[in-house]
Structure 1
Amino acid sequence: MPEEPPPEIAELLGCGGKIEVADIGAAAIAETPPYKKLIDLGLARLNAFDADVRQHDELRRIYGGDLALFTQILGDGSEQMLHLASPASGMTSLLQPSSPGLAFFNGFTAFGEIHGSERVTTTRLDAVEHLPNLDYLKMDIQGAELQVLQHGVERLRDCCMIQLEVSFVPLYENQPSFGEVDVWMRDQGYIPHCFTDVKRWSISPVRRRNSDRAPFNQLLEADIVYMKDFARVESWDDEILRRTALIAHYCYDSFDLVGHLIAKLQDRGSLPPGSLHRYLELLNKSRQPQAQ
């Protein structure tokens, strides 16, 4: 049976092969992840990391054949302690919860209560067998994100976009702050593209509307998307431009970024004249907003 033709945007960009996506902490999905549309359209394959094999059947149900499952706990390759919190809290981590950090926010002392710890051997991202080099990474692992990034430089060498959870007020001991993560990402040639979510929380003991979850102004954490630094775009090969554009279009509705990259590909002669005009026509056809 012949394969379905690629969607029009993918056909216009002419990417070779499927986008390799990794989700580290894949079972901790409270909502539809941004990459799912790429997978549903047959444009990407998911490499999902979750050490809890009880989550794997549900991941298989959602993603079918475009899925590779990994059970490694990622880190720096050393033995570490995994601190187990209530599954409902989502605060199980390689890092020990910080009592002052938790106490600063309403409700977090209970969220961060540790029910037990176990010694685990972590694996460097660069050392994971059968994992391809990645085009797109999403990671939410409760404060250990920078440790994984630092030991995955080769796997991420050509990674187009990286979505991370970052903290403004650390909830764990020795947790890197947003500033530390940002400096490291910039040193690797990335810049912030957008926040997909910014979470605020009320400061103890004052509560709003008698709820822990109704915030005032204090920042807690955010999901931030990094892209390769456009100032270095002349050094990107064509495939990185194409894949960045594909991810930006389907995962983040970043149509202005896509148009910029298509224009670059046009200027290089890697896309035919009129490709940008065709892209804008396709946006109008699908009734998506078009930047002026």
Structure 2
Amino acid sequence: MSNNEPDLLNDLIQPARLTSVVDVGANPIDGEPPYKAMLQRRLCTVVGFEPQDSALAELNARKSDLESYYHYVVGNGHKAKLRLCQLPGMTSLLLPDQNVLSHFAKFAEWGSVVSEHPVQTRRLDDITEIRDLDFLKIDVQGAELAVFGSGRQKLKQAVAIQTEVPFLCLYKEQPTFGDIDNELRKQGFVPHAFTGIKRRMIAPLSDPSNPNATMNQLLEADIVYVRNFMRPADMTVEQLKHLAMIAHHCYRSFDLAANCVHHLIARKAIPDHSIRDYMAALK
């Protein structure tokens, strides 16, 4: 589909505005962001935050008129140290745990700190550049819980969150998957999908030709949480519309999108034929 063609779901449910994406740690090191298709079709806006200068410059060099990027470090609002690691993707507010890293090929090297920079972190709730927040994508190497805890007001509006969760703590005092899951459930979200699972081979076994060789050991995963669709009365009409758009375009979760359409019809927010039209388009 070209960027200018009408979008069937958007035409059926007619959200009052474009879906608002907030991207914390917007450096695109892991490939395309999940909202890329929505951005290409001009169905969303993006407000992104990236503390690494080169990554921020790259984002700004190729952004569209729907995107804005800022040099903020999002966290708990306290002063902190940004620890730049040899592998930029491991840069964190936390100190890498060399004991844990030593159990996986190359990790101790990648996680060696090359420089430390004092930073003033900003609470998500205090960032005035975020007007609306429907979808939060976050990749902050251990600071996830600080962001979720400092954004409880803004996250009341959100319907989807994609976050990295750790099963082993590569950094000292890093919150685990259990800590993050507990916080997001308290905020009204439920797990929806894994979009990526990272495993590694435990030392001393290694494959010299492939430092990323895997066996079974889980390290971390990218997981999507959505506002609890089993409690639709807790969502506004507009929240149901944005959840449908995100489910459909970002994750091909057509069942979740159809569920939202069903509830929108029940609330007389859209015509009865919308579910038939949506199902027919899927076929």
TM range (shorter): over 0.9
Question: Aligned pair in 2 of structure 1 residues 132, 187: CA closer, same or farther (>3 Å)?
Answer: same
Contact 1:84 1:114 in 2 (8 A): yes
Shift of 1:103: 1.5
CA contact (8 A) 1:202 1:218 kept: yes
Secondary structure, aligned partner of 1:90:
helix
Please, which moves more after superposition, 190-199 or 97-106?
97-106
* Contact 1:107-1:212 at 8 Å conserved across structures: yes
How far apart are the structure 2 equivalents of 1:5 and 1:252?
Answer: 20
Q: For residues 172 and 240 of structure 1, what CA distance do their matches in structure 2 show?
A: 35
Q: 1:224-272 CA deviation, whole Å, 9 max, x = no partner?
A: 0000112321121111111000000000000011111111111221121
Q: In 2, distance between residues paired with 1:160 and 1:239? A: 10
Counting matched residue pairs gives 281
Say yes or no: does 1:218 pair with 2:217.
yes
* Aligned partners of 1:133 and 1:156 also within 8 Å: no
Q: Structure 1 residue 216: deviation in Å?
A: 0.6
Distance 2:54 2:214 in 1: 34
Q: CA 1:108/1:179 → structure 2, altered by over 3 Å: closer, same or farther?
A: same
Q: Which residue of 1 aligns with 2:89?
A: 90
Answer yes or no: is 1:13 the counterpart of 2:13: yes
CA distance in 2, matches of 1:229, 1:209: 45
Q: Secondary structure at the match of 1:225?
A: strand
Q: What's the CA shift string for 1:154-209, capped at 9, x where partnerless?
A: 12111010000011001000000001100111111100000000111011111247
Deviation at residue 53 of structure 1 after TM alignment: 3.8
Query: Which amino acid letter does the alignment assign opposite residue 145 of structure 1?
Result: E
Is the Cα contact below 8 Å between 2:94 and 2:171 reproduced in 1?
yes
TM-score normalised according to structure 2 size? 0.94
Distance in 2 (alpha carbons) for counterparts of 1:103 and 1:48 = 33
Q: Which moved more, 1:202-211 or 1:122-131?
A: 202-211
Q: List runs of 5+ in structure 1 lacking aligned partners.
A: 285-292
Greater than 6 Å deviation, 4+ residue runs:
none
Provide closer, same or farther for how the CA distance between residues 57 and 85 of structure 1 changes in structure 2, counting only shifts above 3 A.
closer
Unaligned runs of 5+ in 2: none
**Distance across 1 between alignment mates of 2:100 and 2:187:** 29
Give the AA of the match of 1:96. Answer: L
User: What's the offset of the Cα at 1:90?
Assistant: 1.1
Change (3 A) 1:6 1:154: farther
Does the 8 A contact of 1:241 with 1:261 survive in 2?
yes
1:131 aligns with 2:134: no
Native 8 Å contact 2:192 2:223 kept in 1 = yes
Q: CA deviation at 1:129?
A: 2.2
- 1:112-131 correspondence runs (5 A): 112-131=111-130
Is the Cα contact below 8 Å between 1:50 and 1:69 reproduced in 2?
A: yes
For the pair 1:22 / 2:36, whether they are aligned, the reply is no
Tell me which residue corresponds to 2:256.
257
1:13–1:246: 8 Å Cα contact kept in structure 2? no
- Once residues 128 and 26 of structure 1 are traced to their aligned partners in structure 2, the CA distance between those partners, rounded to angstroms, is 16
Deviation at 1:275, TM superposition (A): 1.0
Cα pair 2:29 2:89 within 8 Å, conserved: no
Residue 240 of structure 2 contacts residue 260 of structure 2 at CA under 8 Å; is this kept in 1?
A: yes
Q: How does 1:54-73 map to 2 (within 5 A)?
A: 54-73=54-73
**RMSD, matched Cα:** 1.7
**TM-score normalised by L of structure 1:** 0.92
